[in-house]
Chain A
Amino acid sequence: MRNLLLARKWGSAFVWALPVLFLALFYFYPLGSIVVFALQRLAQDGGESLRDLNWAYLGRVFGFTVYQATLSTILTVIAGLPAAYLFARYEFRGKALLRSLSTIPFVLPTLVVAASFNALFGPRGWANLAALNLLGFREAPFTLTNSLTAILIAHVFYNLTIVLRLVGDVWSRLDPRLAQAARCLGATPWQAFWKVTLPLLLPAIFSAALLVFIFDFTSFGVILILGGPRYATLEVEIYYQMIALFNLPAAVLLSLIQLGCTLGLTVIYHRLSEIVTRPLPLASQKRVLARLSRPSQKIFAFLIIAFLFVFQILPLLALVGRSFVYAGWERGERGLSIPTLSFTAYQEIFINRRASLFYIPPIRAIGISVAYGLITVFLGLLLGLAAAWFLSRQHDSPALERLRRSLEPLILLPLGTSSVTLGLGFLLAFGKAPFDLRSSPLLIPLAHTLVAFPFIVRSLLPALRSIRPRYHQAAAVLGANQWEIARRVDLPIIGRAVLVAGVFAFGISMGEFGATALLTRPEYPTLPIAIYRFLGQPGELNYGQSMALSVLLMSITAAGMILIERFRSGEVGEF
């Protein structure tokens, strides 16, 4: 009996110690290393590095960062909710495919997204070509690049799936009878949404919005490539201070400011969510899902699907098109001549034309990317499940309870940390004893896990929290120990959330470039690395090959998502 108690105690210690150790070693230790290093430099130059900072300018940068992130988040939530509703409440043909496809943007490297948008809305993109040639416009009507609009659209493009998945998941489990009850009590559909559904979805919406905001707040590539030089976020400024000026103290100071904002926001979020979260009445999927029968429903579904198609899928298709169709347009300012179909780029990626030492065989890059992705899913789910499980319940011991309260806001910090700062921190921390990992290929999936970890925990928490404590009590009374409760009660209930978390972890790893670029070794190239390598050189074929590889990345990610969706659809109705 004593042994059993002891084992139980150690078992639950394992649950919280694992994520705590992981965060300590792979987040706080590198971050601390770079902070200490920056302080040393500051001491060396007697504070000069911080003296000449243009605070008025930095204030404007900060203001713009908050502004664009707020705007992007609001737009993403507004655009995502109707789609989440459609997916959560209706069954229609092609739903799983549409859901998978709309997740792809989230995982694409920024340069590929920029290329997609250019292929669609650029000066010579499909939209403008169609307008010029078919509609008889004299000038290209779409001038998206280098504008706030481009930033906002790209952010919505990227993050819509977060709202779609996180809110959609809760929505699909929300008992539709609540809204029906409101309808029978005289509420219009709109009132039923505002008064009943929305308040119940608020925790999920807050959760998704927080993630979206942090992503937008720390946005780098989108701002750089689609926003153009007139727009700078804190992250861009950190990169500039760090890389171009090598002003480490300034870069670290800005990183800490950015981090402080994330932390502050997270704390506010937790106060809010403690107020609004409550166990939700669950319903089985089968009862929830309806067919599109009324004309109004069909029109609504059509509009949503059309929106998703234009903003989520069309840019991807444009990219696919761009990888096959060559700059068939004549050079100069004339319009489009007949585009030529060509598979050259796809053939070329398999040939080491220049006998280069650094040639990346695509199969190898795919293998490595997928391997990193799976390791990330595995590590991420292991750590994420442990952390989320620990965070989701009340603990008897006051020390554990304190740990739980302080750990929760910390989970999100890796997302809000400048990747260039953290990347250099990794280098400082793991370049020497006692943790000399610099030659370990595991460093990259570990970095990916760090990025995916907050996401996984966030995806799992609302589901775990919605489990009524009574289920645990019931299971405990029936003789289940903590492990068995987790396995037989919690896991089945949160099954879908686990799948969502897995999808995101896989996607994040497949598309991650920032940390990978700083930590990568030529022997272990990922697909995004290969894409960037081709993009960095002039020549039509280089561009074509980078597009071809982007399409490969997209296809493999899509295949992974669809595979996971298959598991998901098998479970419908057995909830």
Chain B
Amino acid sequence: MEALVLQNVSKALENQQILHNISFKVELGEIVALLGPSGCGKSTTLAVIAGLLDADQGEIFWKGQSLRGIPPHQRNFGLMFQDLALFPHLNVFENIAFGLRMRKLSSAQIQQRVQEMLVLVNLQGFERRDVANLSGGEMQRVALARALAPQPQLLMLDEPLASLDRTLRDRLALELRHILRQMNQTAIYVTHDQEEAFTVADRIILMKEGKIEQTGTPHEIYQKPVSPFVAQFLGMKNLVEAEILYENGQSWLSLPWGKISHPSQKAGKGLALIRPTGAVVDGKEGLQLKGKLVQKVFRGDHCLLEVQCGAELLSFSIPCSMSIPPENETLTLTIRPESILFFAR
């Protein structure tokens, strides 16, 4: 069932167009990640959904009802801010209880609900603590508990883990997904980190300069990035100049190192993406690539190779079990045709 629908939402701030005709849907119980580089309009989208900003154009619906004119406090949406915005004058208990008090719950109910939340985020016994004296991870959990306590219909999380270190982030992201799933919480998760998005989200909406670039499950997006931007943003590095040619009634993809048959509609120049995992050493089928091995990094289950092929420096990730020559020696790689994506210009 469709919970949230955005229809052609546009917003300008200080004479600068931030959002251009954004449209997307969020299903009930779905966790959607808004992914994109900073400044692409993710946070503004959240502010518009929360009602903190009014859209200049377009419409937002919740379960079919337009949200126009409904102030933030009547939407029953939760928003967890990037810098958490914990109330410095209230302790942990009162921070979590804030939304419950606004809903005029009895003190027994508040007591119970806050306790549940503390258990949920694993912060039992922290009730009386001053929020200023918490560690980064603890603050994160308090903010999450505060946002979840009033049981919002929709929870929005704005870069909730941005300020944490990598390991903590990875662990909390998993924990977050677990908690959200457990509560069957409809959520929008804003991040600029594709790994976080992949970990947490059911579906990803990739944004660029105020527009939606691509929508899909993590798998779909990873498998079929629609543009070099998406590919690059997802951390894929091997982008090279390429061209589609028609020769002998067949279409070919021409790369700096030769050409390979490629099913395509139109001739023209563009960029080719070579998946890092798409190569084998001394393989038979596919494009043969000869280059100098610049660097070899051992990564446990696989090895990371940097290969200088002509003017391009390409990186590949292949099983270490393959016979990899030592650094600075020449090596021949075979690229499987399905590992090459072409983006027309």
Interface positions of A (Cβ within 8 A of B): 175, 177-178, 180-189, 191-192, 195-196, 199-200, 276, 278-281, 291, 293-294
Contact = CB atoms under 8 A, between A and B. Distances in A.
A478 B170 CA distance: 30
5 contacts: A178-B85, A182-B102, A184-B78, A185-B73, A281-B83
B150 A185 contact: yes
Interface of B: 14, 47, 50-52, 54, 71-74, 76-79, 81, 83, 85, 87-89, 98-99, 101-103, 132, 146-147, 150
Given A185-B102, A185-B150, A187-B102, A281 B78 contact: no
A183 B85 contact: no
B73 to A, nearest CB: 5
Contacts of A293: 54
Report which residue of B50, B78, B102, B150 has the largest number of chain A beta carbons within 10 angstroms of its beta carbon.
B102
A279 B89 CA distance: 10
A175 B84 CA distance: 11
Contacts of B78: 184-185
Contacts of B77: 184
A278 B89 CA distance: 8
Nearest to B156: A184
B79 A187 contact: no
A181 B132 contact: no
Contacts of A281: 83, 85, 88
Contact of B98 (A185, A188, A291): A185
A205 to B, nearest CB: 13
Contact of A278 (B47, B76, B88, B99): B88
Nearest to A178: B85
A196 B87 contact: yes
Contact of A184 (B50, B54, B101, B103): B50
Given A175-B83, A293-B54, A186 B102 contact: yes
Nearest to A187: B102
Given A186-B102, A294-B54, A181 B85 contact: yes
B146 A185 contact: yes
Contacts of A177: 81, 83, 85
Contacts of B146: 181, 185
B63 to A, nearest CB: 18
Contacts of A183: 50-52, 71-73
B79 A180 contact: yes
A281 B150 CA distance: 24
A177 B81 CA distance: 8
Nearest to A182: B98
B72 to A, nearest CB: 4
Report which residue of A185, A191, A276, A291 has the largest number of chain B beta carbons within 10 angstroms of its beta carbon.
A185
A508 B74 CA distance: 48
A249 to B, nearest CB: 48
Nearest to B146: A185
A203 B88 CA distance: 13
A181 B78 CA distance: 8
A182 B150 CA distance: 12
A90 to B, nearest CB: 13
Contacts of A276: 89
A13 B76 CA distance: 56
A294 B99 CA distance: 26
Contacts of B74: 186
A191 to B, nearest CB: 6
B89 A184 contact: no
Nearest to A198: B89
A195 B99 CA distance: 11
B105 to A, nearest CB: 11
Given A181-B79, A185-B146, A278-B88, 5 more contacts: A180-B85, A185-B73, A185-B98, A196-B87, A200-B87
Contacts of B81: 177, 180-181
Nearest to A183: B72
Contact of A180 (B72, B89, B132): B72
A186 B52 contact: no
Contacts of A189: 71, 73
A279 B88 contact: yes
A276 B90 CA distance: 11
